[in-house]
């Protein structure tokens, strides 16, 4: 920054050429860990000479909330502060110099953030995105494929700024260091060719800030299940007409080591859905009426399809039919 002053025909000038947040003249830093404000500068006044310079530290450009303007005779300065007044704020150093001609020049550094803390995980959430080889979505925290994983996370917070994430995606500790644009609040990662095996997994994410401080892991639990429910072909759906309603039961027809949910459809034609469509239940029976759009007359054939779906999204089907009395 250069500030020039002109009085009559004589040019008097005082130039502050450099003001860095750091003790080095080579570069300016945006963040560091130590609880001290450090700055260096350079200035020039070959005409009248410098009368004095003073520096201040505050929460805004030109501010002096942390250090009132203090005369200094060196080309650098530092001052320690409690972390409590530094963390979570941008700290600005301002230098003001006056030359012997009474001209004043002021320059503020672009600010520095100071913290000794890793990223916070208080609001962080990591989730697995259910993946399936079928049209059925797996249950929460489950997936039906072994060759890829998709994770979603949000809520990692850091005063300095999160720069990258370390994502752990296999039981052997395999991890990937990932960078994202700062503007994204919700982040995703998709890993392929993972060669997972059946069973439970802990996938986890760590945030790394610009000072390489690493947060604790935030985990997402998921179970890989590629098993397909089995069907007892010797058993039929139990179908009955009670109080003008269809009652369907399939207890013990489907078998699985894990919990199943069921999707039931019914129609007046085979594979039809004009009576009910894709009704989900975790029970092994369901009761439904015949809609007004379908004439519930004696002799109407009611077709029922029950699909059992595993926690991983794999399915098995049993169909049945009966005639209204």
- In degrees and rounded to multiples of 5, residue 39 shows phi and psi of -150, 150
Please give the CATH number for the structural domain made up of 230-323. Answer: 2.60.40.10
Query: CA 109, 110, 112: angle at the middle one, nearest 5?
Result: 95
3-114 and 230-323: same fold? Answer: yes
What's the rounded Cα separation, in Å, for the pair 159 and 83?
12
What are the structural domain ranges in the chain?
3-114, 125-224, 230-323
Residues of the chain with pLDDT under 70: 1-27, 183
Per-residue pLDDT tens for 155-201?
999 988 899 999 998 888 889 999 988 768 899 999 999 989 999 99
- Domain 125-224: top CATH class: mainly beta
Cβ-count burial 20-47 (b if 16+ within 10 Å, e if not): bbbeeeeebbebbeebebbbbbebebee
What the block records as the tokens of 107 is: 């320059």
The pTM (predicted TM-score) of the whole model is 0.75
Cα–Cα dist 60/108, whole Å: 9
- Reported as type and span, the H/E element at residue 106 is strand 104-108
For residue 266, the model assigns a pLDDT of 97
List pLDDT tens digits, range 7-42: 222 234 455 555 666 555 556 778 888 899 988 888
Which CATH code fits 3-114?
2.60.40.10
């Amino acid at each position: 920054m250069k500030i020039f002053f002109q009085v009559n025909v004589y040019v008097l000038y005082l130039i502050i050429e450099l003001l860095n947040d750091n003790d080095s003249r080579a570069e300016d830093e945006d963040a560091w860990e130590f609880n001290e404000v450090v700055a260096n500068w350079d200035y020039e006044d070959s005409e009248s000479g410098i009368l004095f310079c003073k520096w201040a530290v505050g929460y805004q450009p030109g501010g002096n909330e942390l250090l009132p303007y203090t005369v200094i005779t060196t080309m650098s300065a530092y001052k320690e502060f409690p972390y409590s007044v530094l963390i979570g704020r941008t700290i600005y150093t301002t230098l003001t110099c006056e030359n012997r001609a009474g001209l004043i020049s002021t320059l503020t550094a672009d600010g520095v953030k100071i913290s000794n803390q890793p990223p916070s995980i208080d609001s962080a959430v990591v989730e697995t995105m259910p993946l399936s080889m079928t049209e059925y979505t797996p249950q929460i925290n489950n997936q039906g494929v072994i060759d890829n994983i998709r994770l979603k996370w949000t809520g990692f917070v850091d005063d300095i700024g999160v720069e990258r994430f370390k994502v752990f995606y296999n039981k052997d500790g395999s991890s990937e260091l990932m960078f994202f644009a700062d503007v994204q609040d919700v982040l995703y990662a998709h890993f392929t060719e993972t060669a997972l095996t059946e069973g439970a997994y802990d996938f986890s994410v760590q945030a790394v800030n610009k000072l390489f401080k690493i947060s604790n892991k935030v985990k997402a639990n998921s179970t890989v299940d590629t098993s397909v429910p089995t069907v007892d072909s010797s058993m039929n759906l139990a179908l009955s007409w009670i109080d003008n309603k269809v009652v369907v039961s399939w207890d013990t027809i489907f078998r699985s080591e894990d919990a199943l949910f069921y999707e039931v459809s019914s129609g007046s034609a085979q594979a039809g859905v004009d009576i009910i469509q894709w009704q989900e239940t975790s029970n092994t029976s369901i009761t439904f009426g015949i809609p007004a759009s379908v004439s519930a007359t004696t002799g109407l054939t009611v077709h029922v399809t029950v699909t059992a779906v595993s926690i991983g999204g794999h399915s098995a089907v049993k169909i049945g039919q009966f005639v209204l009395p």
